[in-house]
Chain A
Amino acid sequence: DGGITQSPKYLFRKEGQNVTLSCEQNLNHDAMYWYRQDPGQGLRLIYYSQIVNDFQKGDIAEGYSVSREKKESFPLTVTSAQKNPTAFYLCASTPDRRAEAFFGQGTRLTVV
């Protein structure tokens, strides 16, 4: 079955450490997105990529980095520069920007 896989589901990190969240899709979608969700707030865009080897900053990119070396994969690194990294992170993909979006199951990151 086609879909988006995020791993791990729960992640704990010590302050000052970088951590990478995985997002893999087998839907053959060109566009992939990373969103952050905080309690009581709507999803906010961190980074997006419309094609392999290209990505763009979203509304809250500071303290995050991404890569898009393969069409299927769009990992997100939360760096030590992110001041408040504890949140729920969602990955999504679409065939193009105006199409229906498919979401992963999310990764809940807690900084301890």
Chain B
Amino acid sequence: KNEVEQSPQNLTAQEGEFITINCSYSVGISALHWLQQHPGGGIVSLFMLSSGKKKHGRLIATINIQEKHSSLHITASHPRDSAVYICAVWVPGGGADGLTFGKGTHLIIQP
């Protein structure tokens, strides 16, 4: 059974700090998603990656397939980055739809 572990579960930081959220998984995957959930509940897909690194604005996502690990970085963090960040992995043949979700990292950026 694939397990997806995120760390930390909760993170509070000051505006401007560099943020790192980690995701580890236990079996081989085809792709990994980073999702953002705001307090209202809606979810936005930030990245989908299967190797290397992707960058979008102040957000950077990296993945190491051999080590089964991914990180989401936020540079120059801002209070509007406060949200829950969720990691999800796609496993071929894994489960009904192949997606296994982590429990999320609750990020608060204080002004």
A45 to B35 Cα, complex, angstroms: 16
> Are B42 and A58 in contact, CB atoms less than 8 angstroms apart?
no
> Are A98 and B31 in contact, CB atoms less than 8 angstroms apart?
yes
Whether A74 sits at the interface, judged by CB under 8 Å, is no
Of residues 11 through 62 on chain A, the ones whose CB sits less than 8 Å from some CB of chain B are 31, 33, 40-45, 48, 56-59
Task: Tally A residues with Cβ within 8 Å of B.
Answer: 27
> Are B30 and A42 in contact, CB atoms less than 8 angstroms apart?
no
Point out the residue from A31, A56, A103 that lies within 8 Å of B42, measured CB to CB. Answer: A103
**With a CB–CB cut-off of 8 A, which chain B residues contact A59?**
95-96
Q: Is the interface of B mostly helix, strand, loop or mixed?
A: strand
Task: Tally B residues with Cβ within 8 Å of A.
Answer: 25
A104 to B43 Cα, complex, angstroms: 7
> Are A58 and B33 in contact, CB atoms less than 8 angstroms apart?
no
> Are B103 and A48 in contact, CB atoms less than 8 angstroms apart?
no
A33 to B101 Cα, complex, angstroms: 14
Residue of B nearest to A37 (CB): B41
> Are B33 and A42 in contact, CB atoms less than 8 angstroms apart?
no
Residue of A nearest to B48 (CB): A100
> Are A42 and B41 in contact, CB atoms less than 8 angstroms apart?
no
**With a CB–CB cut-off of 8 A, which chain A residues contact B42?**
103-106
